[in-house]
Structures are given as C-alpha cells and as structure tokens.
Chains A and B, each alone.
Chain A
Amino acid sequence: MGVRIKEFRGTSLREEDIRQGRVLSVSYRPKAQYLWSAGVAIGRYLAELKNGRIVGRQCDKCGRTAVPPRMFCEWCFRPNDRWIILKDSGMVNTFSVSYIAADATRITEPLIPAVIQIDGTTGAGMLHLIGQVDPKKVEFGMRVQAIWKPPQERTGSILDIKYFKPAER
C-alpha cells in the first residue's frame, strides 16, 4: 500500500453467504479431549478448597507467599519451602462488571469478576467473582470475604468458593 501497490486482495463475506450456501463450506466438530494432571501444588490447593481453606506456598529466600500455590518460586528459581494456610478474606485489587457470558452472548444479571488480594500474602491475588452487592457499590481496596458452598456440595474446585462478598465492618 505503498503508493506503488494498487490492489489489495481478499473476498469479504457476510454470514448469510455461508449460511444460505452461496459459498461452500465444511463444518467440523473436533474431538479434543484432555485429562489434565493437577500435580503436587494445585492438587493440594483443590483438596484444601474442599476443606474450606485457601492455601499458599511460601519461599524462605524472598519471603513471598504465592497463591494459587506452586512448588517453586519463579523469582528466586528454587523449590519453595512451606504450605501456609491463609485467611479466606482479602481486598479488591481491581474489578469489572460483565454483561456478557464466556461465549460473548448477553446476560441479564451482571457478574462482577475481580482480582482479590488474599490476606497474608504479599500482593498475591486470585481471579474470582464478587457477589451479594450492587455493582455500583464495589470499590477498589474494598475488603471481601469468601462465601463457601456447603461442605457436602464441595468438589475440590475453585467453584467451592461461590464468590466473595463485602466484609462486615
């Protein structure tokens, strides 16, 4: 597109061109299935969520506590040292208000995704949702508290925490 180039190629279609068969297409449903191994750190993390606890791993060299936990410290590049049982409360580092679902379709009840810094860590946060609050009332730095599923409904998943709600003052 330099001035020397006169022609740009590319044939733009509308959705209907394909749907109504004006141009040919091939549809395919892939079979892409997995059995991901959680490993040492995430395995324990999920097991502890089932117990209603959030755990992190601490590195003695830099003193950081990491959550979600990993068995190594990425900054010191060494195996880290111990499990730390953390509080299930924290502070809103950032948040947003979502009116769309994962597949980009519209939802009526907005979700409030947030990065929540877990108390007792040095800035380590987790992605989760905020609930039981009017989206307009959520603030940066707001203190929040995990709301857990009842023990019998927990499966060892990040969803064992239903959401975080504003902490009582």
Chain B
Amino acid sequence: MTQLRSITPDLSYKEMMFEAAVKAYNDAGVDPRTDVQSFVCSSEDFLEGTSIFDEYVPDQIGGSLKPVCTISGNGLYSLATAYMQISAGLADVAAVEAHSKASDIASIRGIMSLALDPIYVRPLDLDPYFVGGLEMTRFLHDSGNTREQCALVVEKNRRNALRNPYAAYASLLTAQDVLKSEPVCQPLCRMDVAEPADGAAVVVLASEERAKKFRDDPVWIVGLGWCSDTPCLEARQWGDAVYAKMAANEAFGMAENIRPEDIDLLEIDDSLSFKELQHLEAMGFCGKGEAGPLTERGATKPGGELPVNASGGSLGMGYTFEMAGLQRLCEVVLQLRNQAGEHQVRNAEKGLVQCWRGVPTASGAVVILSSERS
C-alpha cells in the first residue's frame, strides 16, 4: 500500500498503482509476469472519470496479456473473487488491486447523486449525505447510543492516526471540535464524515501450498462474506446495518472455530462516525446500544480490550472509496505479522476487516484473518 495523501497531483493513477504493486510483489517475493496467474482490480467508472476503466488496469500491475478482471465494488469484493478463483483451482497465486484517485474528482457530490434512484430520489436535488443523516437519526434513536459517543469515535480514530505513517488526516482534535463543526445533514456534521484521500493497494493471495513457499509468516484468510440489503431507500430498515450483520454471519460461519470474542482487533468501516458503532453492534461484537458506552470507556482504543481502527480508520487515514476495504486489510496483515510499528496491537493473532460501500448503498463485506492456519 502507498502512503495515503489528501492529493497526489504529481502522480497519475497508473503510477500510483505501479508503486503499490511493486511494494506488494516485493513483500511477497513474487514476479507478477511469471508467478501471478490472475489479477483482480476494483473500480467504478464514475469515480475515475473514464468509462470501461478495466481497459487501463493491466500494464501497471504486471497483468498485460494475462487473466485480469474488474469487480465494480470494494477491494474486499475483489479479494473474495480472487479467493474463489484460487479455491476453484483457476490460480495458485492471484493479485488484488484497489486504488483511490479521489483528488481527480471535481464534483464528488454530483457523482454520488448519480447513485440515487433517478425517478424517486434524485429529483430532491440534495446533498446525497442526507441518506447518512437519515440512518444516523434512526440508529441513535433505536440503539440509545448518543451523538457525543459518535464524536468520540472521531476523536479516537484521528488520534490513532498520529501513530500511523500511512495516514493523511491524523489530528489531536477532540469530540467537542466534532460537535461544533458545521452541520451537513444533521445530526451528521462535517467532522463526522471521513475526508477523501488518494492511494493504491495491492495484495497477493496464494494457495496454501504456494503460500508456504513464499514466506514463513503468511496471514490466512479463514472467513469471508459479502452481502447486500435493498438498494431502495423506501424499503430500508433505517437503524440497522443488515448488510454487515449478514456478511459477518457468513464469514464466521466459514471460520468455524472462531467467534467474535476470539478476534483481537478490528479494522471496520468508519466512513461516517456512527457507522463504527453501528457496525460493531451489527456484527455481534456487543449488544445493541453498547458500542457507544464501550467507546466512552476506552475499550476500543489500541490498548483496550477490543481495539477498533487502531490504524486511525477512514476518519484518521482518509477515505479511499473502493480501496477502503483493502486498506484496512493491509493494516490487519501488518498487525498480525507484528509489523504495525507504533500502533501495533499486542499479541494480535486474529483480526476482522469490514467494508461498507458508502452512501447510498447497503452493501458490504467482511474478512477474518488469522496468523494461524487453524
């Protein structure tokens, strides 16, 4: 993964992807031209400003004239696709790519508006984050978590980022600063929303047999799941992250012997402050209404009993759209290899990564990683 930055005017997206790819292949000890049999990229055309973005991905990741495909989704979906390809016997080694060139986008709200239903929602002509505002109101109402607890998530994650050299938005700001920030779609304020960042990430997957040849300390994917709730705002259960609950159920179902209480650290979606609390509850890491109090007493800090987003999360590192899931996965891999540096969580053996595809979607994925094959 490259360092995240608020802008990268000196590099094209191709050059950013190349840097991430070189780092990943070097880390894994593979040559993409001879060892990697499949490449899975992640992009959405309107985020790139280019139609059929799949055209432009192969060269800078070493995939020319090889099996390369694009998943229109978050990097964790691409990871799941590569996992299926390896399980099905199509490849021994696969590379997964995701990136964000958010600074190339000059009208992000205009583009997010294009994701709203053209007949029944878009005519309102409002900041698409209103969908997040609607969710937050209902979530706080149903769960009993408070507005202030959401602000504490921002304080925690931006401070966590101070210890992470990859982060673009590290800061000592406080919960009070968050509450005072400009309202966007109340109760959502400016600082509740993760700021966009540029970066690229590449992850190399290998079958069990090959992985052991490449390195002594591979990190294992022991569970994964992805799920979509209704795309229709009219049919939403506004207070619940059904997608996160169902994806986590699938992932834990696959990871057989692992339960939520066995997880040592989490890197989960916090692209809107309340989402960290909502996702913790949806995935069964605590009961309804307990995530706020847990945050308040510091349990989710890096030294707490359940470290959440020790990296700084999207609030502290920056929001990288379809790369966000892969960014969190890279963080957990570093943690499980005991290479996370200043923000290393002690004795981390099992980690969980989760993504949400952002406003206005109700889709997301969960991956459980372990340093043990189990």
Contact = CB atoms under 8 A, between A and B. Distances in A.
Given a CB threshold of 8 Å, the question of whether A touches B is answered with yes
A40 B12 contact: yes
Interface in B1-54: 8-15, 18, 31-33, 46, 49
B49 A74 contact: no
B107 interface: yes
B12 A28 contact: no
Contacts of A39: 10-15
Nearest to A31: B110
Nearest to B31: A77
In which size bucket is the chain A interface? Answer: 20 to 34
Interface string B237-273: 0000000000000000000000000000000000000
Interface in B312-329: none
Nearest to A30: B114
Nearest to A27: B118
A32 B33 contact: no
Nearest to A38: B12
Nearest to B198: A37
A72 B18 contact: yes
B235 interface: no
Interface stretch (B98-106, B132-140, B160-168, B275-283): B98-106
Interface stretch (B58-66, B218-226, B340-348, B351-359): B58-66
A77 B33 contact: yes
B124 interface: no
A36 B10 contact: no
Given A32-B46, A70-B59, A72-B18, A41 B12 contact: yes
Interface string B84-127: 00000000000000000101111101110110001100110000
Given A75-B64, A77-B62, 18 more contacts: A30-B110, A30-B113, A31-B110, A32-B46, A32-B110, A33-B105, A35-B104, A36-B104, A37-B10, A37-B13, A37-B103, A39-B15, A40-B12, A41-B15, A71-B18, A74-B59, A74-B60, A77-B32
Q: Which 6 pairs, one residue from A and one from B, show the smallest C-beta to C-beta distance? A: A39-B12, A31-B110, A74-B59, A34-B49, A33-B106, A77-B62
